[in-house]
Structure formats: structure tokens, C-alpha cells
Structure 1
């Protein structure tokens, strides 16, 4: 299942774009080993191009100069409409992995079960979120190999007012079979036992499941540690988990807030909404009218139970008369959070009186 995060959540109120106030464009991600990840470097490059604007100018994106992550990138062109965006650029590594040539010029031509489809499947979320979107998951590719991938989509504009280009970067790693993995695990265990007693933790810095905090990984540094040392390490790990949970909750509230705003916009423009649904292959659900909205935002491949819960949150907000721009504030103070709201909405459906 895809795990999708709006990276706009990392840009707090102090870092929001405001050229008149001279505010910074947005914080660069600086999280230890994570800064070596390809998608984080791409995000930092996107931030460097903001220069006080809501979106970077597409003219400032130099595809020839991005030797670091350019081979794993793709540029989508929405200047003629969102129904079937043009593919203006596909990096060499991504093109070779997907076995595609220059005949692929639009999203509708992207082969299913290709890494390129993992990127292009998320493009409508950028329109709804109006901010960079990061995602990671695994899938079985066209060769039948289970593949882990992590990607990011970032909005650009040709005129500064709305999104008409999206630049995406994705990296990946194919998983080996169980027998090979067991052999590699044994070899790694031997190397750790024979290696130095103090050293850097091993992590896949440039792909899914990588970049873990060294304090969360097994380490020979724990040998001989006192009870006080172990408590300090455990508390540090707990603090990291709490911080990650808080950031994830804030990002989810922001996305749901924007999904709710999308629902209001869909109500005002039913024809445009129908076009979005048709393009994304999302059916209407008469008994759950908010479900297509969250499927547009999160993708139809997202966890079904979560989609149902998120649709219930939007339905509760609509039934309660919450303003189209007020869901996030409501969620932040709601008793029981999302779980409480879902329970209340289901209770209301069961007892319509």
C-alpha cells in the first residue's frame, strides 16, 4: 500500500512563503542520514528555486544540470489541461528501468506495472494538495519482481499563479528471493561480528526502508552499557517516535483539510469533478459520496479501510456544517481525533433520527 505524505507539512507557519514579509522560502530537510536520500535532495533543490513564490518557475528548472537525481526524474506538462498531461522529460535510468522509448509522450500511454506509473498515478494529489507529495510503497513490476520504491512529486508554474508542471523523482530497489536474502543476512551477521566494536550503522540511504536513526538500529555500542545508558537510548528513541507521530498527524490533518476543500469545490463545479473522476477511473459512490474525493487525493490503491475512515471524516464535517477551510482546526481540537469522528459518523448513519 502507498504511504503518501504532503511535504508541505514540514513548512510551518514561520516558514510559509510570504515575499512581502521577507519570510524564508521553506525549511530544507536536514535530518541526519536522510539528507542523502535522493528524494530529499530533490525536495531541497525545489525549495532553493522558490525565491519567495508560491511555486518555483518552470524556467528555473534546468534538467540538464541535475546529474544527481535527473536520471530518475520525469517532468509532466499540464499547460494544455489535466485530463492527459504530456510527458516532457523522462530520465535515462527511469526510462531504462521501464523499457520505454520516446514514443511515450502522455500519461495515458504509460505502461501499467511500471515505475513510471507509480509516479504518474499520484499527479492529481499535487493538484489537490498544492504542495510537494512524498510517497513510498512496494509493487510487483512487469518482470514479476517485488520492488520497493520511494518518490516525490513537486509543483512548478509557468506564470506563478497555479500549477501547470510537475517534476517527479523516484528511486527503487528490487527485492531478492527468500533464499538469497537469508544468505545475505548470514553474511552480514558475520561481518558485524568480525567488524569494529564502534562504527556507523548500516542503512540504505537512497531508498525505501533506509535512513533509519542509528539509535533505532542494533549496534555493538550497546555491549557493556549500563542500565542508565540503556534508559537514555530508549528515551531518545521514544522522543523520535513521538515527534514522527506528531508530524505524520499534522500532515494527515492538512491533507484531509484540503480534501474537504476539494469536496466543496466539486460541489460548486460538478462537471469539472466528473471529469476528474473519469480521468482517474474513480466511480461515484451514492451511499458514500465523500469516498471518491479521498480516492482522488490518496489514490484508489490506498488502504481501503483508511479511505473509508477518511471519507467518514469528510462526511461528518459536511453534516456538521464545518466551513470548507475549517476542517484542520476542527480535527486538532476534536475529542478522540479521527477515530472519535469516525465513530460519531457511523453512529449517526446507524441512527439517522
Structure 2
């Protein structure tokens, strides 16, 4: 990477959310809107695109100074010399200017305690603990006395594909206006909305998805958020994947709506699986680009990895893949998956248990113990040995093959009735 701290020409241009910030603020004073949510989805997707089959992207593949989309709103922390006081390897211009920090800032300990940058760096230990990207949102009173709403995402990077020794963070924000101005703006917005004609059904790109659930406009006059509007049946396979990833990113950020967000993400993953089945060539290309191998015995596992990320918790990957597999086993159509999951007894855990039960071998429905014993009594003896037997009719013998091709009896396994009964049933087949 080629990064220099403190020189403006080394930092990328203002992030996409910064353009027209004043207009956004005038229209929607209380909302971290679509651009801000899109930025974090794009940052997450950029992180996923750098994985290439590894647990974490290589730090050598990251060049924040040349990410015009969100590089200006980002910070790169270096833990290679320890986690107590990480080095700030890169600080975007927009973030530096908003926080009012000098270009010479080099350590986390130098970050002002009530700055927006501190909201981002305060979460870095969670990455070390979780070993996966984390998202967060909140509001606070900044050092300039402004009530500020912010949204951030932190993503791990590695220099050796195993150790998390770099963390890349992206953050965006909006300052709230005072109560009087807010009330006046709300009244103006509501009056303008009432004058608008009822909109026709809208078709949204997947990147609008992260704003789902945050638009306070009345349902009769606001388009449905894209996270709640999956791509159509004729959409390309990568559109389905992008939409599912957007939902996964929102799920990672939504602590209070985790169950609903998870179910929605699994629904989109199932739709993506159906699109993959209809376009095997496109699916193979996506797998190759992400460095994910297809799995004949677990075909839904690559689907889950593409949606949630290769570095996602393995236990959860297996669990989610099991849910999708059970739906496929039961012939659930993609539009019916959400209802299938909502009606499932025990939720996801119940579906996983049902699928595992379906995979178990069928119970032995062969002969009863009495029938098996009768057949063995009618068989000719292979050999007769002068070994003292107990009171049981059938006795298990443990033999060792010798070099002459003969069997040497080395022990009698008596006293274990269950083992003997299983051996009798097996021998009678």
C-alpha cells in the first residue's frame, strides 16, 4: 500500500454521502438516509471482494487513498505493534476535517474523546473478539455541541491471512437541527407530501436496501424499501446476490431487529440459490471470483458464504445452509420461503433439527430379535470350540487373525446384552 498521512493530495475525494449534504439535511433532518446506508453496504461488499477465499482480506490489497467512494470517510488502524494503542495508518480527509484533528495524528490515544473519530475507534476491540466485520449506529453530542447521528462499520484485514493486525473503518454522519427548525421542516415536508400524487410501484436497485425500516414517510406515499423488495424472477443472478448481501450487511448492523433481519436475509439467500440453480454458469463464475469451492454434499454452504462472507462464523454458516437445504428438500418455492420459515415450529433451530432428523438413516425395520435368533439356530456351525460359555444362548467372541490365515479366539464378550442382541440381528441378515 502507498499511504501518507496528512497530505491532502494523498487522500481520496469526498465520499458519496457528502455530496449535497446540505440538501439531505434540509429534507430529512432526523434520518441517516439512503446514501449513508449505501456507503456501508458498498464498504462491506468491497471487503468481501478482497477475500479471495481467505479468512480475512490481505492488507496489501487495500488502498483507501484511491477509494473515491468512501475513502474520505475512512480510517485504517495498524495493530502490528500491539493492540493497546494502535497506529493510525490512514485518515480520510472528510473524517479528519469533521473531527478537527491535525494531519499529524498517528495513534488512537491522540483521538479527541468527543470526536466522531472516537465513535469509530472505540469499537475496534470488538473486531478482535468477534473476528468478523461489525456495524453500529447511534447518536451523540459532538465536541462542537451538535447532536450527531452516525453509522459505522469496521472490517478486519490481515498481513498473514490469519492474524487480525489491521482494521479498516468507514463512518458517515448527519447533524440534527434544533427543535424549532426541525418542527418547521417537518411541517413543510408533510405539506409537500400531501400535494404529491400517489406514486406508482417503484423498482429499486439493491443498494437502496440498507435504508429499509428507517423511512418514516407514510406507507401511502413512500416507496417500499428495496430490502423488503427482492429482485424479480427475471433478474440476473448477481442482482440477487447483491441484494442478499445488502440484507446481510443490514442484519449485521441491526441489533434490535436481528430476528426479522436474519429471516429476511435467509429469504434473499434462498432466492439467490434458486437463481443460481437457473444459471449454473453465472453461479460458477461468482464462486470462482470469490474463491469459494462448490460442495456436492453441501450445496447450500457456498450460497451462504457468498451472501454472509467467507469469514463468517462457520457454525452459523452450517446452520443457515441446513435451513436452506431443508426448504429445498421439502420443495419450498422461493416466494414461499419466508412463510415457511415463519411457520416453522421452533424457528431456525426447529428447521435445523428437522433436517438433521431427515438425514439420519432409517431405523432398522428388519427381523425381530426372536426371528434373528431362530435363523441363527438353523445355520450350520462354522466351528466348535471348547470354550466355557455362560448361561446366554449366544456369546460374542473376539478373534485375532494370525499369519496362517487362522483365527485365534482371544476373548469372550459376555455381560453386554445390548451388544449381543445387535450382533445377533446383524448376523441374521
TM-score normalised to the size of structure 1?
0.51
Aligned partner of 2:95 in structure 1 is 94
Does 1 or 2 have the higher relative contact order (CA < 8 Å, sep 6+)? 1
Change (3 A) 1:106 1:206: farther
Number of the residue aligned with 1:166: 167
Deviations 1:20-73 (A, max 9, x none): xxxxxxxxxxxxx68962111100000000000000000100223210100100
Distance 1:81 1:135 in 2: 24
The corresponding residue for 2:68 is 67
| Unmatched 5+ stretches in structure 2 | 1-33, 223-228, 230-246, 264-314, 320-347, 351-429
Cα 1:151–1:206, aligned 2, differ >3 Å: closer, same or farther?
A: farther
Show the counterpart of 2:218. 218
Q: Flag the 1:161–1:220 CA change in 2: closer, same or farther, 3 A.
A: closer
What is the DSSP-based 3-state SS (H/G/I as helix, E as strand, rest coil) of the residue aligned with 1:168? strand
How many angstroms apart in 2 are the aligned matches of 1:179 and 1:43? 37
Name the SS for the 1:220 alignment partner: coil
Q: Which residue of 1 aligns with 2:226?
A: none
User: Quick one: structure 1 residues 101 and 185, their matched pair in 2 at CA, closer, same or farther if it must change by over 3 Å?
Assistant: same
Please name the residue that 1:192 is paired with. Answer: 193
The verdict on how the C-alpha distance between 1:63 and 1:249 changes in structure 2, with shifts beyond 3 A counting, is: closer
Note the C-alpha offset of 1:249: 7.7
Give, in whole Å, the separation in 2 of the partners of 1:176 and 1:215: 18
**How many Å separate the matches in 2 of 1:206 and 1:96?**
27
Give RMSD over aligned pairs: 3.8
Distance 1:111 1:199 in 2: 48
CA contact (8 A) 2:36 2:172 kept: no
Aligned twin of 1:104: 105
Helix, strand or coil for the counterpart of 1:193? helix
- Write the distance in 2 (CA, Å) between the matches of 1:206 and 1:103: 36
Return closer, same or farther for 1:247/1:155 CA change in 2, 3 Å cut-off: farther
Q: Which one has the largest radius of gyration?
A: 2
Q: For 1:212-238, what per-residue CA distance to the aligned partner results, in whole angstroms no more than 9, with x for missing partners?
A: 35998413359xxxxxxxxxx9xxxxx
Q: Deviations over 1:285-316 (max 9, x none)?
A: xxxxxxxxxxxxxxxxxxxxxxxxxxxxxxxx
Q: Deviations over 1:263-302 (max 9, x none)?
A: xxxxxxxxxxxxxxxxxxxxxxxxxxxxxxxxxxxxxxxx
The equivalent of 1:289 in structure 2 is none
1:34, 1:97 → 2: CA distance?
18
1:68 counterpart SS class:
coil
Counterpart CA distance in 2 for 1:35 and 1:83 is 30
- Secondary structure of the residue aligned to 1:143 is coil
| Alpha-carbon distance between aligned partners in 2 of 1:220 and 1:247, rounded to the nearest angstrom | 23
Q: CA separation in 2, counterparts of 1:199 and 1:333?
A: 40
Q: Which residue of 2 aligns with 1:136?
A: 137
8 Å contact 1:134–1:151 — kept in the other structure?
A: yes
Q: Is the 8 A contact 2:132 2:155 kept in 1?
A: yes
CA shift, 1:103, in A, is 2.2
SS where residue 211 of structure 2 aligns?
Answer: coil
1:158, CA displacement in angstroms?
Answer: 0.8
Does the 8 Å CA contact 1:149/1:173 hold for their aligned counterparts? yes
Distance 1:42 1:215 in 2: 22
Q: Distance in 1 between matches of 2:61 and 2:187?
A: 48
Residue in 2 that maps onto 1:183:
184
Aligned residues: 205
Residues of 2 paired with 1:211 and 1:63: CA distance?
Answer: 25
Deviations 1:146-166 (A, max 9, x none): 100000000000111110000
